[in-house]
């Protein structure tokens, strides 16, 4: 423990500084994802606190319900849907074979242990 809200976490030979107040870690996962990394989660668990309190607000249930809470109305019948169209081109051909630089391979590869 380096301070009240700052901790040093050791993973093999690598040391990570976790600051719970600023929601930062040296591995940068917490800043990028908004979810505490495993090093921060370790310190939060040692303090016997809830991990959800350190998670970004955009992952809360209220934000989820606000984003996906509206009603999605079904389409009454298929007459509103556009008819299927054939979009496959009729003159589609494979790309031209391009000879790669360097010496070409032999016609067959010899098995391991086979005489040369």
Positive or negative, the CA dihedral 26, 31, 37, 39 is positive
Q: What is the distance between the alpha carbons of residues 66 and 74, in angstroms, rounded to a whole number?
A: 20
- Other Cβ atoms less than 10 A from the Cβ of 40: the count is 24
3-state SS class at 16: strand
Confidence of residue 114 (pLDDT cuts 50, 70, 90): confident
Q: What is the pLDDT of residues 42-93, one digit of tens each?
A: 999 999 999 888 998 888 888 988 888 887 777 777 676 667 767 777 788 8
7 vs 80, more confident: 7
Model confidence, pTM? 0.53
- Which residues on adjacent β-strands are paired with residue 15? 10
């Amino acid at each position: 423990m380096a301070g009240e809200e700052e901790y040093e976490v050791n993973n093999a030979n690598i040391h990570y500084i976790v600051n719970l107040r600023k929601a930062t870690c040296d591995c940068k996962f917490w800043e990028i994802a908004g979810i505490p990394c495993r090093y921060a989660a370790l310190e939060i668990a040692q303090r016997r606190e809830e991990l959800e309190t350190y998670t970004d607000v955009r992952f809360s249930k209220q934000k989820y319900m606000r984003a996906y809470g509206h009603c999605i109305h079904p389409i009454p019948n298929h007459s509103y849907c556009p008819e299927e169209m054939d979009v496959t081109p009729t003159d589609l051909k494979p790309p031209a074979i391009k000879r790669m630089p360097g010496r070409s391979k032999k016609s067959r590869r010899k098995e391991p242990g086979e005489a040369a």
